[in-house]
Chain A
């Protein structure tokens, strides 16, 4: 039929792929079809949704358009295939039909393609029911529907079916079963559906006799005041939430004052039943206790955000010194009292993944300074499980005031993985918390909270985990050309053999990721599934969590990894693990920064496109050939190797163990990738300086400053803050280390240059957590660009007028014009860019030292440093781009978590005419490494290059 022809009937056969199961997709299709008045049916087979739809051309066209555009939030549609079909007669209405492979599908061959949906925050409809006294799930902590709730963390195997989840132990009551089987109900086939009659149970378990332990709010600082006074809070409250059982009489100083710290109301024995448990938890929090709360992907530790004593107690228990804690806020209004929130930030905060969003903290934010010491940013998140919503709501009949916000951090020691197993929790949590608010629905897989920043209205992922796991990335679409020039054919490659049979099927690959912020990635050559955040792999607990997660992943996807891929760093426990588990096929090794760049290509679906990748991070294992500034001596011996083999290695993308020689630390790299994304040429890098003492140099940024000063020929004068920060013995020892080369490796790391400058400017000399010095440097620079320097107010205002605006606190055009006050610098700070692409920071350091001595404000120098780095990036990329005819650039590596630098670089590259890729899907830091490793391996295996070598 023709569109517009009266009486014409279209029938279309539609197949929808992606994350479309367990997300309420069929009820959505049913609603859409019913609303449009088209006929047909929808069903699942494992892996995809099939639809047949029939109606007038206009309505069918509209149906197809809205199928993609209006899909429910947790769904991710990757493919919609539409085929013509002959119209049928006698079909009346639109039906949801049985799954094609039996009861929700048990067809092993098909499960390979199926996608597990991520955990999704409880939806607005469910929250409305949660606080509706007339609803049968009123105040039920496990309320959920097809559009929301836990998924990934409770699924044992596919197909996604209740029996295959940790809800298997909770048989549905008849009322729930009726909803479950009704296609028109929004709980149709919602696997975790339950109610107070048939669902899991909440309980409050005190670990210590809370009533008589040492007063947690000993200084009385906040013991009798609420987070803010009643009037203020009332003003911030949306009118609607009053009807949700949070009466105004429950808020405010006088009521909290009624709860004397350590009062005997806090129970000593276990409390079961939702409201009792919730009231007990609220009471313990009000008393300044640390309460473990079982969430979706693991246990959290919660405490009052406004009590310095409680926050300090939490830091001591966790052995976490300075790293910021996240704060969960009851709603956006509370969030706005803590941080600057624009529309984009609000949208991300409220999104179905409910990540922790790093926001500019308000000066008057009513939280203890210890929540995020010395940090201009604060991480906020909104409640995402019904339990969280209840924790912030008044318990009917209880005297205790619910908190408006709480510190919420994963329940673990320092950098260990999050505690999620109930048995483990009983063992580990008593050392960390005073009590726990828990329940009997098991968590199968740990999943930490995701963390993002918002840049120009888009997400910059810092940690991609809950709400995003498993992350699906498709490699197959662009079918890159292999190194032997095998032509790329349209359509999918990898597991599915092409019609002409020319493409080798790729075996299942497991990329084990990096060492810190570890994630892993499993791929069949066509689709890549990225894991949740595992954490710092230096510990045994993380190694166990890693193994467990790998097992679950490969079981769920029925993919047995045949080939392992690891980072080339010989000290990474992930590489060691890969070597132990690789059997007779040695793991493929991928250079760290190459993996970073390829991860960027992969997330943008642009594998196979030539790119100039700027990979700036703290540390990645190099593969030979820096123009080392390390003096001769013991440290140098290991580095001497012949040039020819070095070049050979440099052009290789995937290395084998015996090809990696010598130790070099990279991290300021400019890599050129051609049509073979699995190969790279190093076309530029930061000039190498010695890294004295490995991790010791990382922990002590002042030592990096000493090394950079020495390399630039600047004397260690005692007026320089970094020099003054070291005792004479340390200065002498570092000097002798640099002179002799003992324990030194050459290092081209940009992250370490940020450390060095941070120390040089007197901002941070010793770090307690990774990235601390660089974060502080960015914070200092932000001061210069947001707080106008004297006499520069006018130009400052102009800058603030554009782009992201004041919400993110990051002016859009930093770097396009000069930083206010920069004219006070007698020497312009800049890195020189050599013809060989080597960036030399010596002139920059000299200018900064001169600026310090001229009394230029540190903030201005910090900002000028950011600009100088961005200038150098633009210069080297432009030069290489011109020489090689490449117009695509990429910014990746942990340093590009620095929004100031990221934007300054983007701005310049845009002006220079480059299409510039930045991360929106996987983090620029090592959390994204596994995806890049997996892609390199797949391309390598496709090209047959692994066998050639």
Chain B
């Protein structure tokens, strides 16, 4: 039976995908299990192709809406493959009774987000379902983009000594949405970081052309993305707690809720693995961009222990960072 934990983006999600979908659709492009498929074209370029569905409660939250997420999510997934995103499709599953005004605002957000990201919504679909069959609105976007010749991003290219960069402060999106649901009495003005990162990625790749790997740490957060990196590269990832940029209000809310900021979702950030000699240029390029001012080198790739993400703590110890599993569970006995 599928549980909420299977949708949380952590190890349970990975198991479900592995057990059901990879098995059913097995092919080389899918087996790579990237954010999007990269399909070689005769021209030497590659076609990047990605899709995502969006369900979020509430539909609007400080800093964004489901419309923003629907565009940013797919644009960012394409950008993580090294592609320049070009066109999107949009499909809407609407629950009977959903206000048209609200739908118009969502569409407006999408148009604005697409314009800002430099992509066009070129096709779509709409379905209306009975009351109760969908929770308000589900938006699905798919997107295509082109990967310039020579660009190759893959965990298999990662080497020990490479640096791990994050493009900005982490945890704002997940925390903003959690607070916006209105169930949590947390007094913090946290805004979602949702944004398209394709322009920032272009800056990075220009400054650090040997960049090995990119990933947007959405559900499951930076901790889960780094675990995927460690698993897929067969190497270790060593983060430095003091270097991970977290806004104080996000940190405070996390502490109150017993949540690790490394496990909170982001929608406008990405992780990059860059060879050490290009790391300074990469960091400078990111910080020059208005959306990359708080970018930081947060760790490095280690020979071992393979598949493990560890974090050097402020105390000087080294703790292991897990994938997000589900609800916060105490380890302490």
Bound: A618/B183 CA distance, A:
28
Residues on the B chain within 8 Å of A743, using CB: 257-259, 327-328
Which residues in chain A, 498-522, are within 8 Å of chain B measured between CB atoms? Answer: 514-517
Q: Can you name the residue of chain B whose Cβ is closest to the Cβ of A412?
A: B317
Given contacts A413-B316, A413-B317, A733-B257, contact A571 B332 (CB under 8 A): no
Inter-chain pairs besides A695-B330, A743-B327, 16 sampled, C-beta below 8 Å: A413-B316, A515-B333, A576-B322, A619-B331, A634-B4, A661-B3, A663-B326, A665-B330, A691-B330, A693-B257, A694-B259, A695-B332, A696-B256, A696-B258, A740-B184, A743-B328
Number of interface residues of A (CB under 8 A): 69
Which residues in chain A, 811-837, are within 8 Å of chain B measured between CB atoms? Answer: none
Bound: A516/B331 CA distance, A:
8
Contact of A770 with B by CB under 8 A: yes
Residues on the A chain within 8 Å of B319, using CB: 538-540
Bound: A61/B318 CA distance, A:
59
Bound: A517/B328 CA distance, A:
21
- Mask for B24-39, Cβ within 8 A of A = 1, else 0? 0000000000000000
The contact sample of 7 A-B pairs, CB cut-off 8 A, is A413-B315, A431-B316, A514-B333, A515-B333, A571-B322, A641-B1, A729-B186
Residues on the A chain within 8 Å of B255, using CB: 696
A-B contact count (CB 8 A): 163
Residues on the A chain within 8 Å of B186, using CB: 729, 732-733, 736
Residues on the A chain within 8 Å of B184, using CB: 733, 736-737, 740, 742
Interface positions of A (Cβ within 8 A of B): 319, 413-416, 431, 514-517, 537-541, 543-544, 569-573, 576, 580, 617-621, 633-635, 637-638, 640-642, 645, 661-663, 665, 667, 691-698, 729-730, 732-733, 735-737, 739-740, 742-745, 751, 770, 894, 925-926
Residues on the A chain within 8 Å of B326, using CB: 570, 638, 663
- Mask for B175-194, Cβ within 8 A of A = 1, else 0? 00010010111110000000
Given contacts A319-B315, A540-B320, A736-B184, contact A693 B258 (CB under 8 A): yes
Given contacts A638-B326, A742-B183, contact A770 B259 (CB under 8 A): no
From residue A209, how far is it (CB to closest CB) to chain B in Å? 23
Residues on the A chain within 8 Å of B5, using CB: 638, 662-663
Given contacts A544-B305, A573-B322, A697-B258, contact A414 B328 (CB under 8 A): no
Query: Quick check: B332 and A619 within 8 Å, CB to CB?
Result: yes
Bound: A662/B325 CA distance, A:
10
Bound: A516/B317 CA distance, A:
15
Query: Quick check: B3 and A736 within 8 Å, CB to CB?
Result: no
Query: Quick check: B333 and A926 within 8 Å, CB to CB?
Result: yes
Bound: A665/B333 CA distance, A:
10
Residues on the B chain within 8 Å of A665, using CB: 329-330
Bound: A344/B275 CA distance, A:
63
Contact of B11 with A by CB under 8 A: yes
Query: Quick check: B3 and A697 within 8 Å, CB to CB?
Result: no
Contact partner of B331 (CB less than 8 A), chosen from A541, A617, A645, A695, is A695
Sort A-B residue pairs by CB-CB distance and give the 6 closest, nearest first: A693-B258, A696-B258, A694-B328, A740-B183, A736-B185, A732-B185
Contact of B222 with A by CB under 8 A: no
Query: Quick check: B308 and A540 within 8 Å, CB to CB?
Result: yes
Interface positions of B (Cβ within 8 A of A): 1, 3-5, 11, 178, 181, 183-187, 255-259, 305, 307-308, 310, 315-320, 322, 325-333
From residue A768, how far is it (CB to closest CB) to chain B in Å? 12
Query: Quick check: A540 and B329 within 8 Å, CB to CB?
Result: no
Residues on the A chain within 8 Å of B305, using CB: 540, 543-544
Bound: A275/B203 CA distance, A:
66
Given contacts A638-B3, A736-B184, A742-B184, contact A570 B11 (CB under 8 A): yes
Bound: A740/B184 CA distance, A:
7
Bound: A661/B5 CA distance, A:
9
Contact partner of B183 (CB less than 8 A), chosen from A537, A544, A739, is A739
Contact partner of A543 (CB less than 8 A), chosen from B3, B4, B11, B308, is B308
Bound: A667/B329 CA distance, A:
13
Bound: A571/B263 CA distance, A:
13
From residue A626, how far is it (CB to closest CB) to chain B in Å? 14
Query: Quick check: B333 and A894 within 8 Å, CB to CB?
Result: yes
Query: Quick check: B257 and A319 within 8 Å, CB to CB?
Result: no
Residues on the A chain within 8 Å of B320, using CB: 537-540, 543, 573
Given contacts A319-B315, A732-B185, contact A695 B258 (CB under 8 A): yes
Bound: A732/B319 CA distance, A:
31
Query: Quick check: A745 and B329 within 8 Å, CB to CB?
Result: yes
Given contacts A541-B318, A736-B186, A744-B327, contact A730 B256 (CB under 8 A): yes
Query: Quick check: B259 and A580 within 8 Å, CB to CB?
Result: no
Residues on the A chain within 8 Å of B258, using CB: 692-697, 743
From residue B262, how far is it (CB to closest CB) to chain A in Å? 13
Residues on the B chain within 8 Å of A570, using CB: 11, 325-326, 329
Q: Can you name the residue of chain A whose Cβ is closest to the Cβ of B19?
A: A658
Residues on the A chain within 8 Å of B317, using CB: 319, 413-416, 539, 541
From residue A461, how far is it (CB to closest CB) to chain B in Å? 16
Residues on the A chain within 8 Å of B259, using CB: 693-694, 743
Contact partner of A540 (CB less than 8 A), chosen from B3, B185, B318, B333, is B318
Q: Can you name the residue of chain A whose Cβ is closest to the Cβ of B6?
A: A638
Query: Quick check: B3 and A698 within 8 Å, CB to CB?
Result: no
Query: Quick check: B315 and A414 within 8 Å, CB to CB?
Result: yes
From residue A734, how far is it (CB to closest CB) to chain B in Å? 8
Query: Quick check: A571 and B329 within 8 Å, CB to CB?
Result: yes
Query: Quick check: A733 and B327 within 8 Å, CB to CB?
Result: no
Interface centre among B256, B257, B330, B333 (most CB of A within 10 A): B333
Query: Quick check: A637 and B4 within 8 Å, CB to CB?
Result: yes
Interface centre among B178, B310, B327, B329 (most CB of A within 10 A): B327
Residues on the B chain within 8 Å of A431, using CB: 316
Bound: A662/B184 CA distance, A:
23
Bound: A693/B258 CA distance, A:
4
Query: Quick check: A571 and B1 within 8 Å, CB to CB?
Result: no
From residue A482, how far is it (CB to closest CB) to chain B in Å? 31
Query: Quick check: A516 and B183 within 8 Å, CB to CB?
Result: no
Bound: A569/B329 CA distance, A:
9
Bound: A118/B78 CA distance, A:
60
From residue B9, how far is it (CB to closest CB) to chain A in Å? 13
From residue B129, how far is it (CB to closest CB) to chain A in Å? 21
Residues on the B chain within 8 Å of A742, using CB: 178, 181, 183-184, 257
Contact partner of A770 (CB less than 8 A), chosen from B187, B307, B308, B333, is B333
Bound: A431/B317 CA distance, A:
13
Bound: A193/B332 CA distance, A:
43
Bound: A544/B325 CA distance, A:
24
Contact partner of B310 (CB less than 8 A), chosen from A416, A540, A633, A692, is A540
Residues on the B chain within 8 Å of A576, using CB: 322
Q: Can you name the residue of chain B whose Cβ is closest to the Cβ of A739?
A: B183
